[in-house]
Homo-oligomer: A and B are copies of this chain.
Amino acid sequence: MNLTLSLSRAIAVFPEREAVVDGQFAATYQQLGERVSALCHALLGMNVVTGEVVGIIAPNGHEFLEAYYACAVLGLVLNPINFRLSAREIGGILEDSDARILVAHTDFTNLVVDSIAQPFALKLKEIVWFGSGQRTQLEACAHDYENLIAGNAGKQLPECAVEGSDLAHLYYTSGTTGKSKGVMLTQENVTFHALASVAELSLTDSDTWAHIGPMFHLLDAWAVFACTWAGARHTFAPYFKADEVLLLIEQQKVTITALVPTMLNAMLNEPDIEKRDLTSLRLLLTAGSPIAPEVVKKAVNIFGCDYWQFYGMTETSPFLTISKPKAHMANWSTDRLLNVVSRTGRTFIGVELKIVRPDGSEVEHNDRDVGEIIVRGPSVTQGYWRQPAATANAIENGWLHTGDLAVIDEEGYVNIVDRKKDMIITGGENVYSTEVEYVLYEHPSIVECAVFGIPDDQWGETVKAVVVPKPGVKISEGELIAFVKERLASYKAPRSIEFAEELPKTGSGKIYKKGLREKYWQSLERQVH
């Protein structure tokens, strides 16, 4: 089993179907196959060996898709790099992965140069540049992406002799949970997940997918393989800009895409949204972090299409649940269905999922008992690149421990209440940050918010919120705290609220809670040590 199955079938069954539209660039599946083939031969010309790591740092675009496939065909391990990381972090990744080849867009020339200048022992020998920006002379041999494609045109796709157990991707997890680790995904992990996604989402050759979430992240990258397999069409937003994304959906008649809630929120707050014809959308997905029911309500009203939530992680290729309703819910009221789709979701096809107490027993399906989500299945990672201790820590008896705390209802729909590490314990009471955030999102003046615990001598921790109000709107700390207390137990309400113009985000666009929390905890550490 390997990823090439998806490309070879698209070429065989949908050769004339438009595969890719990327600004002025367009290609059928036949043509995409030819470009992937040329890129394969270019890489073979650099004497690549099965299993070696190829880095890529680039915005969303057809070259990213081509790189995913060329590496898959040759059995190379693609390592997509988060371009929001610092040069030092990227240097660390390049050292850890042993990448000899880097595919890089000129938007990141300086970042690449600075990464290489870091005091790491890099094996980097070849850089394949694309983009119209400036390229800097470096010690590594420079290639031009399009020259390589042109120079290897007309060659047959190399015979794929890749096994399911061969490594396909190396994703370094974003910094929300400590030191960056390389998540290893095999060809089988990703292939199986792609097929499962075609099944769960009924992807077909009438679909057009918009790559809006960054392709270096699994929020979006799984769709490279799933949508190709189904013969769907790929379109791209190089970077997330709410107004441009809305225009892309209109112009390319996008039928389906996946966003992080912060992106969806930004789009819903975009004044232009009313002007756009978004009727082509059949299904809008969000993933990456829990979403406030209030935001779902707004989205369903404005987009007028189906909305489902996904939950997953890099370690699981990524999806573990989906909030797709069941057949027998067809005649439920809109409000009741809205509650279903706003949940984290039910088990994704191909996954085994349990919510367990610390002693390993499963919690009741009563929507109240909180446990940790543990999972297993063909799309779950074998572990972390060269980190056996981290692997052993995450995977116990074949079950991956997600670190996410959740409840499950009698229909089997999971709802995440918090990251294990984000749960606040104040005066001996557990407070789940999402619950407080959801209430804040109900306030009409709030664009974004984050709730977390800060150290407190008396209570251990107290609840803190950072809130982004709508531009030009004034709200007081007291008013907001009162708003929460009207809706939740007093101890769950923030003790203090900070106002900000924006919140820090991770590479995939999620709110970076760790960054917000750090300053409070650092001062504590200084106090303690």
A347 with B12: CB separation less than 8 A: yes
Q: A326-B231, A327-B204 are in contact. Are A412 and B195 (CB under 8 A)?
A: no
Within 8 Å CB of A203, what residues of B?
199
Partner of A198, one of B9, B188, B199, B378: B199
Q: How far is the CA of A412 from the CA of B11 in the complex (A)?
A: 10
Contact of A8 with B by CB under 8 A:
yes
Within 8 Å CB of A198, what residues of B?
199, 349
Within 8 Å CB of A177, what residues of B?
none
Nearest Cβ in chain B — how far from A371, in angstroms? 14
Within 8 Å CB of A202, what residues of B?
202
Q: A5-B350, A8-B352 are in contact. List 11 more A-B contacts (CB 8 A).
A: A5-B351, A12-B347, A13-B346, A13-B412, A164-B164, A192-B192, A192-B195, A195-B196, A195-B199, A205-B326, A206-B330
B326 with A9: CB separation less than 8 A: no
Query: How large, as a class, is the contact surface on chain A?
Result: 35 or more
Contact of A507 with B by CB under 8 A:
no
Within 8 Å CB of A347, what residues of B?
9, 12-13
A412 with B327: CB separation less than 8 A: no
Partner of A350, one of B14, B195, B352: B195
* Smallest Cβ-Cβ distance to A398: which chain B residue: B161
In the complex, the 10 A-B pairs of residues with the closest C-beta atoms, listed nearest first: A206-B327, A199-B199, A198-B199, A1-B378, A205-B327, A13-B412, A202-B202, A13-B346, A195-B195, A13-B347
Q: A195-B196, A327-B206 are in contact. Are A352 and B9 (CB under 8 A)?
A: yes
Contact of A229 with B by CB under 8 A:
yes
Q: How far is the CA of A65 from the CA of B377 in the complex (A)?
A: 23
Contact of A353 with B by CB under 8 A:
yes
* Smallest Cβ-Cβ distance to A11: which chain B residue: B412
